[in-house]
Structure 1
Amino acid sequence: MVASDISTGLSGRPRVLGRTLASIGVGILVGALYDYAIAVAASAPVPGGFTTPPLTLALIAIVAALAVATAWRWPVVGLTAGIVVLGLVAFAVGGRIGWTPYGYDWWSPFNAVAFGAASGYPTIVGATMITSAALSLRRTHQPVGE
């Protein structure tokens, strides 16, 4: 018998499609989680005599760094998550969802989505996730020699 490296061309497709669909599903969950996490980090009642306390800025930076790392390491998940974050912000703006003031009900997911639309932090994180994922995809799919 002669061994061959030639594949039928169909053997890897179901596996790749399944992994891609799983990555998109995970991306939807990750996007919702990051939208909630960035809004909670930005609205947490942190004491301080500043307009935006340094601890709040540090929490926002940590969540943003994790979001970028996720988008860079798993680009399909990051791209989907970034789109979900921007979609949630657009939904909150379009629906004119209201949020309670600083320090009240800051753990509530509905308040987090509304606060995210008003603050802009999730928009920045979502756009950064999309950009990071796109750069990672471009880097990994470059033809040899470029």
Structure 2
Amino acid sequence: MDIFVNIINIGLVILLGYDLYWQSRIQIRANYSYWQVVWGLIIVVWIASTGISSWSYAVFLALFTLLNVAGGVSGIGDKRIAATGVYNRFRPYAKFIGVTLTPVSAPNGAEFVVAIFAMAPRRYVRMIFKQPLTTMIGVLQQVLPETVPVTIQKIN
């Protein structure tokens, strides 16, 4: 059983390295997704409740937890966006069919931008940024292909 868990651990280390590489290329970070950590911890506690029988198993739980913590980081990178999650979260800009930016002013005076990256068919990646709209537009103009339209939506 330890050999199987060690093979999974090697895969998780490779996945963690891949995640860290693309996260290091993020230019504008979105708000952190705490739900990613909550669900990861629920799964880890559930798995750990069966009993930790070896060091390989303990390393697996630690790597799984670390991947869930890293999975909450999202943002706009130089070649891809980093969505939240553990699996298939780094998407190249060529896959998008449109981007919608919605500036929002909260009642407490905080301002943020909701960005929705649309992929075909009916798939979306939503992120919330604490950056000004002008900064968001400037970065997106640098990284998005000319064929991907950017729409600015106003809330009345």
Indicate the TM-score class for this superposition, using the shorter chain for normalisation. under 0.3
> Greater relative contact order (Cα 8 A, min sep 6): structure 1 or 2?
1
- Structure (1 or 2) with the greater strand fraction: 2
Q: Normalising by structure 2, what TM-score?
A: 0.26
- Structure (1 or 2) with the greater helix fraction: 1
